[in-house]
Amino acid sequence: MKTSEIKKTLEKLLAEDQKDISDFKVGVLSSEDLVSRNKKRQQTLERIVCEVGWPKQKELEKDACTAAFLIVQHSDDLQFQKKCLKRMRKLSEGEIDKKHPAYLEDRILVSEGKNQKYGTQFCSEIGKIKLYPIDDQRNVDERREKVGLEPLDLYVKKIATSQTHNASHTNGGVDNRGTKWGKIPSPKVQP
């Protein structure tokens, strides 16, 4: 597969992913359909990764690499997430956005019922965000800074503002620990 084909495929998958999340938030798409569509995108990404390895920013541009990350992040397949994280960690600076492995590592840890490392994962309970427990929370901002993440208190405020903005535009759901949540963060691209 040529680089241009991979880029085009990943960007198409990103557009589908973001549309599906928006549709889910407003109740147009069921959680079962969202999971099914995420699985199809995962299978496409698996074929790409098997053929060329983890997508690199130097080769594909940032949007295509962000697409690959979000497909993994939104997957329900923990083993797939772990394999991808391992591949991501092998890349050098400039080949990957340093934030992506941090988000994915936290997603995996939370899925396993463990404390997260960077404070990127949360749920919403009755309009209030709740961070999952963070390992060594006293030093979380230092870890976040190393991977290019903003301080935790700013991130929480941003997510809370986003949640308030989206309060009437969601159908709720259950996060990967089985905890009910009501909103998905809505920065430009959904992590």
Q: In this predicted structure, what is the pLDDT of residue 182?
A: 35
* Closest to 103 in 3D by CA, of 191, 180, 11, 7: 191
Q: Quote the tokens at residue 28.
A: 């147009």
pLDDT at 191 over 60: no
Cβ–Cβ under 8 Å, residues 127 and 167: yes
Q: 186 vs 105, which has greater pLDDT?
A: 105
Q: Which amino acid is residue 171, in one-letter code?
A: N
Task: Give per-residue pLDDT as tens, 155-177.
Answer: 998 888 876 545 433 333 334 43
Q: Among 78-92, 142-156, 172-186, whose mean pLDDT is lowest?
A: 172-186
Task: Measure Cα distances from 67 to 25, 112, 113, 144 in Å.
Answer: 19, 24, 26, 22
DSSP state, residue 96: B
Q: In this predicted structure, what is the pLDDT of residue 190?
A: 43
Task: Give per-residue pLDDT as tens, 19-51.
Answer: 999 999 899 999 999 999 999 999 999 999 999
Percentage with pLDDT > 70 across the chain: 84
What angle do helix axes 62-73 and 3-25 make, rounded to 10 degrees?
50
Task: Measure Cα distances from 161 to 79, 124, 156, 169, 174 in Å.
Answer: 33, 12, 9, 14, 21
Q: In this predicted structure, what is the pLDDT of residue 171?
A: 35
Full-model pTM: 0.81
Q: In this predicted structure, what is the pLDDT of residue 121?
A: 94
The mean predicted confidence, pLDDT, of the chain is: 84
Q: In this predicted structure, what is the pLDDT of residue 39?
A: 95
Task: Give per-residue pLDDT as tens, 121-134.
Answer: 988 777 677 899 99
Please state the φ and ψ torsions of residue 69, each to the nearest 5 degrees. Answer: -60, -45
Question: What value does the mean pLDDT take over residues 129-152?
Answer: 95
Q: Which amino acid is residue 185, in one-letter code?
A: P
